[in-house]
């Protein structure tokens, strides 16, 4: 019995609130991610936070 558990986290820019990135979550990472990513809307690096679908 194989259960498919693919966690895909959506990263949303904290500045413009647009979602730009998707990342694969592993089981080990249960905490909310916060990553600095380049936002194409802000044209700079901004903090991106994980949101739940």
Q: Which residues would be at the binding site for Zn ion (CB under 5 A)? A: 13, 15-16, 39, 41-42
Q: Which of 21, 25 has the CB closer to Zn ion? A: 21
Phi, psi (5° rounding) for residue 30? -105, -15
* Listed residue (23, 27, 28) closest to 48, CA to CA: 23
Q: Output 8 or 44, the one with its CB closest to Zn ion.
A: 44
Min CB(9)–Zn ion separation in Å: 17
Least gap, CB of 45 to Zn ion (angstroms): 10
């Amino acid at each position: 019995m194989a259960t498919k558990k693919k966690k895909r986290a959506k990263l949303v820019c904290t500045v413009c609130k647009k979602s730009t990135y998707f990342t694969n979550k592993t089981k080990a990472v249960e905490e909310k991610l916060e990553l600095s990513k380049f936002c194409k809307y802000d044209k700079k690096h901004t903090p991106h936070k994980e949101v739940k679908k």
